């Protein structure tokens, strides 16, 4: 079923994955821009740096609920499939827009989180680092917004709307070396993150898209698969194993 994809993966020398919110819907985490996405229920403004400054209490009422949801989630078969591809030497990096930490939980080691991580927080005044679990305890004890010892408001270590994307230069440097990118569970509409797959394609590499919805790069992709990533990726891994078994 995925013969071409397997062929491309096995014949490439520097493969990367670029993942979005659709990667984690199978773990019970809402995506953002899908039919039932988070921004259909909330205004994106609530996740902005301006909103944090204006109304830190309401900001944390929203983010504490999101954090708890992420912390309760577990890596799904799609995360584990990418980790297995890494162990097989067929995936050099996972570059993710996700902030849930599920790639690492699923076993991936080489992960770049360009939008940061919800697992950590820090003081917006003195930059003292905090574990987010510690911050949730503060909120549970009635301290909202959670405050640092210096009196500054603590914030999650994620990229908020209105802020520059973390590690995008590092991600694009890796993308410029890659000869294949799998864009998985992402609308490919968020800038500058979507420059990652574009960079691979513009440098002559192959682009494989696995996503439930259409994306702006479908027409230039080498292969497009419509389907749930937690089903598709394990099937691709099984076909890789089958192909490698034939070689032996």
Query: Residue positions in the annotated binding site for Zn(2+)?
Result: 123, 126, 148, 150
Output b/e per residue, 213-247; b: 16+ Cβ within 10 A: eebebeeebebbbeebbbebbbbbbebbeeeeeee
Q: What is the Cα–Cα distance from 32 to 20, expressed in whole angstroms?
A: 10
| Burial of 164: CB neighbours in 10 Å, binned 0-12, 13-18, 19+ | exposed
Which two three-digit tokens encode residue 124?
């917006």
Question: Which residue spans within 97-179 are E strands per DSSP?
Answer: 111-113, 116-123, 129-131, 154-158
Query: Which residues fall within 8 angstroms of residue 233, CB to CB, at 6 or more apart?
Result: 77, 78, 81, 82, 184, 210
Which two three-digit tokens encode residue 203?
């440098």
Cross-strand bridge partners of residue 94: 17, 111
Q: What is the Cα–Cα distance from 46 to 62, expressed in whole angstroms?
A: 8
- Spatial contact of 145 and 136, defined as CB atoms under 8 Å apart: no
Q: Which residues are annotated as a binding site for nicotinamide?
A: 32, 99-100
Measure the CA angle with vertex 224, ends 78 and 234; round to 5°. 25
From 80, 92, 115, 120, the catalytic residue: 115
115 is catalytic: yes
Annotated catalytic sites, by residue? Answer: 115
């Amino acid at each position: 079923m995925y013969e071409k994809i397997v062929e491309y993966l096995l014949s490439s020398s520097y493969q990367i994955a670029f993942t979005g919110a659709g990667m984690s819907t199978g773990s019970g985490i809402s995506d953002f821009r899908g039919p039932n996405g988070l921004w259909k229920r909330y205004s994106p403004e609530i996740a902005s740096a301006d909103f944090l400054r204006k109304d830190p209490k309401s900001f944390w009422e929203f983010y504490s609920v999101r954090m708890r949801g992420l912390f309760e989630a577990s890596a799904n078969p799609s995360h584990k499939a990418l980790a297995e591809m890494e162990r097989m030497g067929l995936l050099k990096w996972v570059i993710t827009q996700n902030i849930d930490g599920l790639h690492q939980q699923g076993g991936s080691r080489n992960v770049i989180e360009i939008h940061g991580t919800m697992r950590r927080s820090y003081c917006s005044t003195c930059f003292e680092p905090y574990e987010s679990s510690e911050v949730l305890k503060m909120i549970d004890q009635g301290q909202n917004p959670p405050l640092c010892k210096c009196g500054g408001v603590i914030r999650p270590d994620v990229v908020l709307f209105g802020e520059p994307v973390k590690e995008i230069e590092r991600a694009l440097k890796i993308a410029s070396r890659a000869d294949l990118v799998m864009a998985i569970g992402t609308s490919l509409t968020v800038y500058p993150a979507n420059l990652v797959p574009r960079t691979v394609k513009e440098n002559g590499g192959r682009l494989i898209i696995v996503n439930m919805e259409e994306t702006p790069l479908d027409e230039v992709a080498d292969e497009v698969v419509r389907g749930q990533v937690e089903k598709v990726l394990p099937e691709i891994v099984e076909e890789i194993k089958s192909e490698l078994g034939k070689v032996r």
